[in-house]
């Protein structure tokens, strides 16, 4: 009986060991990638990661939309596998990352001025008018700088509630880069910054927060990525471009603005005030940030697969979500960079 009892115990032990090994193997086969950063491209990235994970259950990507500033910090601190930023990285920031950094443009888009005036479905803003709004000099909706370009539009005699970002933001960086390009006063007093010292405005966190503030606050205006305004059916202003034309943000006008951009070897290019009468004036590429070297081979291969998906099949999601698909020449250059990791 004793021998028989030992045999049963041994069999149970082996069975449990086998099940434990299977369970551990199952967990081991799931590769989890952690990313964080820009809110500007977050809706597109989250769709990519969800769709790719559904087709490849062994690879799961957790992306946190925390803003470009926090994303870059997390990347430098090496608490993530990759990050995302609309302001790229500075040479000083890159120097803090041992082993090197590879930036790869993943999509592009427009920054719009969304506003909450239910009775004003169309609005034109000159360069002087919208830079004046964010300088705190144009304070009312019926200011002459606004009314002169909107004949026949009944603009309310009420204060403009400006909404700006509270966090370190690539969207703020790109927006202030544009404002500095068109307004010497803005360049001198505020300048280009991911967290500007705005002279006016209530603060909200992320593109998500700014969008929500505009929706809930009548008389407000704020800067957000085009897709956020599109998804919430917000009114967006037609902005005066370098050629003097008032242009609405659309995929076509954003493509026109980016058409002349030449991507250098470091993959960083800015189009702060594009030429062309059909060009929307505030556009940018946005980047994912990768380490040149990864110690985990399986994680590296999974990361390369996910990024290549975004650069190919994922580009087909761009238009519907309010982004600009990358030109084929940019995709080809980006794919070569992915291989170099």
Helix (H) or strand (E) holding 129: helix 127-135
* Residue 237 and residue 181 in one domain: yes
Domain's final residue, options 283, 303, 329: 283
Q: How far is the C-alpha of 258 from the C-alpha of 326, rounded, in Å?
A: 10
In a domain, 23, yes or no: no
Residue 180 lies in a domain: yes
Domain check: are 262 and 315 in the same one?
Answer: no
Are residues 126 and 270 located together in one domain of the fold?
yes
Residues 225 and 327 in one domain: no
Q: What's phi and psi for 37, nearest 5 deg? A: 150, -135
Please tell me the predicted confidence (pLDDT) of residue 334.
95
Whether residue 117 sits in one domain with residue 95: no
Please indicate, yes or no, whether the overall pTM of this predicted structure exceeds 0.85.
yes
**pLDDT of the residue at 21:** 36
b/e map of 35-56 (b: 16 or more CB within 10 Å)? bbbbbbbbbbbebbbeebbeee
Q: What pLDDT sits at residue 145?
A: 98
| Rounded Cα distance, 321 and 124, in Å | 24
Q: Is 5 contained in some domain?
A: no
The verdict on 242 and 155 lying in the same domain is yes
Would residue 79 count as lying in a domain?
yes
Sign of the torsion angle spanned by Cα atoms 259, 262, 263, 266: negative
The residue range of the domain holding 262 is 110-283
Q: Are residues 185 and 274 in the same domain?
A: yes
Same domain, 218 and 75: no
For residue 8, being part of any structural domain is answered with: no
Domain annotation covers residue 19: no
Task: Give the count of domains, the chain.
Answer: 2
pLDDT of residue 75: 98
Instruction: Give pLDDT, residue 262.
Output: 86
Last residue of a domain, one of 283, 303, 325: 283
| 69 and 80 part of one domain | yes
How would you write the pLDDT of the chain (341 residues) with one tens digit per residue?
A: 444 443 433 333 333 333 333 333 334 589 999 999 999 999 999 999 999 999 999 999 999 999 999 999 999 999 999 999 999 999 999 999 999 999 999 999 999 999 999 999 999 999 999 999 999 999 999 999 999 999 999 999 999 999 999 999 999 999 999 999 999 999 999 999 999 999 999 999 999 999 999 999 999 999 999 999 999 999 999 999 999 999 999 999 999 999 878 889 899 999 999 999 999 999 999 999 999 999 999 999 999 999 999 999 999 999 999 999 999 989 999 999 999 99
Give the span between the Cα atoms of 170 and 68, in whole angstroms.
5
Q: Is residue 213 domain-resident?
A: yes
What's the rounded Cα separation, in Å, for the pair 262 and 183?
A: 25
Q: What is the CATH number of the domain that holds 271?
A: 3.40.190.10
Q: Are residues 89 and 161 in the same domain?
A: no
In angstroms and rounded to an integer, the radius of gyration of the C-alpha atoms of the chain is 24
327 and 228, same domain (yes or no): no
Check: CB of residue 162 under 8 Å from CB of residue 200: yes
Residue 241 included in any domain: yes
Among the candidates 263, 283, 303, a domain finishes at 283
Same domain, 52 and 153: no
């Amino acid at each position: 009986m004793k021998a028989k009892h030992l045999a049963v115990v041994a069999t149970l032990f082996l069975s449990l060991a086998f099940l434990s090994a299977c369970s551990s193997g199952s967990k081991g086969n799931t590769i989890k990638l952690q990313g964080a950063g820009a809110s500007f491209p977050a809706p597109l990235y989250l769709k990519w990661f969800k769709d790719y994970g559904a087709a490849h259950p062994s690879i799961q990507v957790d992306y946190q939309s925390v803003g470009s500033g926090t994303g870059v910090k997390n990347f430098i601190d090496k608490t993530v596998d990759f990050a995302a930023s609309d302001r790229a990285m500075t040479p000083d920031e890159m120097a803090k990352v041992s082993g090197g950094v590879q930036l790869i443009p993943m999509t592009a888009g427009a920054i719009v001025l969304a506003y909450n005036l239910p009775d004003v479905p169309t609005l034109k803003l000159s360069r002087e008018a919208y830079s004046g709004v964010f300088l705190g000099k144009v304070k009312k909706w019926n200011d002459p700088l606004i009314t002169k370009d909107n004949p026949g539009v009944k603009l309310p005699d009420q204060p403009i509630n400006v909404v700006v970002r509270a966090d370190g933001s690539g969207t703020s960086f790109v927006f202030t880069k544009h404002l500095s390009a068109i307004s010497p006063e803005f360049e001198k007093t505020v300048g280009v910054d991911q967290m500007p010292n705005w002279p006016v405005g209530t603060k909200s966190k992320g593109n998500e927060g700014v969008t929500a503030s505009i929706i809930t606050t009548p008389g407000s205006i704020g800067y957000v990525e085009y897709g956020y305004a599109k998804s919430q059916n917000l009114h967006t202003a037609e902005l005066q471009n370098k050629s003097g034309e008032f242009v609405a943000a659309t995929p076509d006008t954003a493509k026109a603005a980016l058409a002349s951009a030449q991507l250098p070897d470091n993959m960083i290019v800015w189009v702060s005030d594009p030429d062309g009468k059909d060009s929307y004036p505030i556009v940018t590429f946005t980047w994912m940030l990768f380490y040149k070297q990864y110690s985990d081979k399986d994680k590296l291969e999974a990361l390369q697969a996910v990024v290549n998906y975004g650069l190919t099949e994922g580009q087909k999601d761009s238009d519907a979500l309010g982004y600009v698909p990358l030109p084929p020449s940019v995709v080809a250059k980006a794919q070569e960079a992915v291989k170099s990791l």
